[in-house]
Amino acid sequence: MGELLGTTVELQVTNVAHGGVSVARLDGRVVFVADSLPGETVLARISSDDHQSFWRAETVEVLEESPHRRLHVWKAAALDRDPDRRAGGAEFGHIDLPWQRELKRQVLVDSLQRFARLENHPALEVQVEAVEGDDAANGLGWRTRVSLHVDDDGFVGPYAARSHRVVTVDALPLATQAVEYASPLDERLLGTDRVDVVSDGRRGARVVVGSAPAGKPIVERVGEREFRLDELGFWQVHHGAARTLTEAVQQQVLPELFDPSAANLDLYGGVGLLAAALIDRFTPDVRIESVESDASATANAEFNLRDAANASAATARVDRYLGQLQRDASTAERQALARASVIIDPPRAGAGKLVVASLIDLHPAQVVYVACDPVAFSRDLAQFSAGGYELRSLRAFDLFPHTHHVEAIGVLTPR
């Protein structure tokens, strides 16, 4: 181990892998190759060879290029920069935009087949849909939030790809114009290690050095509804993502199974975006509780849902909240939960075994799963399937152009 580290090798790239890299083999060993494309022959520098089952490498030259390769949209992340200095956060920026979506589709379908054991299922025909306006903009100018880092000498920039090294850049092409303009890329900041630049799309952008003052709000708008949140609180990064997800949930939820008087839930509910989607889709009288572990987000959710008399917000970890329901729910409450529609929008690690097991036990009429990681989603889906649920519909969205990330929404019902 270690004898190949830093050496340059020729690799035949065969297929895409989850995480924004492609796959090659060297002496029978899997090599995950950054900045490459399936079908290419590349020279790549081995950056990690200490893992028993795989190595990692960074492309330094393309010998035979894919027809889907394009000039990188971000000069700071392009091949002519040394791999150690390439900016992270645009790992698909060298790929034609429609082909990025095809690669994301392949990763999603492969995950569903390998981890959820789906075969010959209609969901495998899923396509990754673009957000309105992204094709015309070549997938640029969508980030309304950027987190930058500050090194020990005060230089500001993103991390280099797959590292915690700060690299300096002179542009942020994935950011909105307001965010890019406000970002202190040419300044030196001492006494902090982080800078956030945040825009709600209407009033320019705010620069937040270090931690945000407690309780400082911004307002986001989705359709006719406004949402209050803390300026560093969670919100979808793409300027069109909140609207896209709202409309997708409203379209995919099965109306014949939706009961406004049931004990409906919005788990990992944040500031109430998807709870509001159901309220606006059906009736202001919908009974629904948003559950979120962050107390500030919960307070904002309660404020944002104040026009719905039967909506509430609870501050709790989702696994503990569901565990308490399992222990304490009366017969009537369990019946209300069995009629319920449940939205889950977990973090990248997925809902996990405890949460899925609790939902299976509580047996809601439908689960609308909003997933930001295809592997975690597929693993949770396998557990749902073993517990008697089936995937009724699936859509996928390209909410993060020029990155490997893909968002999926699946609806599950009892068999």
Binding residues for S-adenosyl-L-methionine: 236, 268, 292, 345
Q: Where are the beta strands (DSSP E) in 134-268?
A: 145-150, 156-157, 194-198, 206-209, 217-222, 225-230, 264-267
Closest CA to 150 of 173, 167, 170: 167
Q: Residues 291, 269: contact at Cβ < 8 Å?
A: yes
Gap between the Cα atoms of 268 and 369, Å rounded: 11
Start-to-end C-alpha separation, the chain: 50
Q: Would you state the structure tokens that stand for residue 377, as one six-digit string?
A: 């989603």
Q: Which of 46, 313, 372, 406 is catalytic?
A: 372
Q: Residues 230, 216: contact at Cβ < 8 Å?
A: yes
Which amino acids are annotated as binding site, given as ranges? 236, 268, 292, 345
| Burial class for 354, CB neighbours closer than 10 Å (0-12, 13-18, 19+) | middle
Other Cβ atoms within 10 Å of 272 Cβ, number: 29
Tokens 């069995």 belong to which residue? 338
Task: Give backbone dihedrals phi and psi of 103, rounded to 5 degrees, phi first.
Answer: -65, -40
- Cβ-based neighbours of 351, under 8 Å, separated by 6 or more: 267, 318, 344, 359, 369, 376, 380
Known catalytic residue at 368: no
Task: Enumerate the active-site residues.
Answer: 372
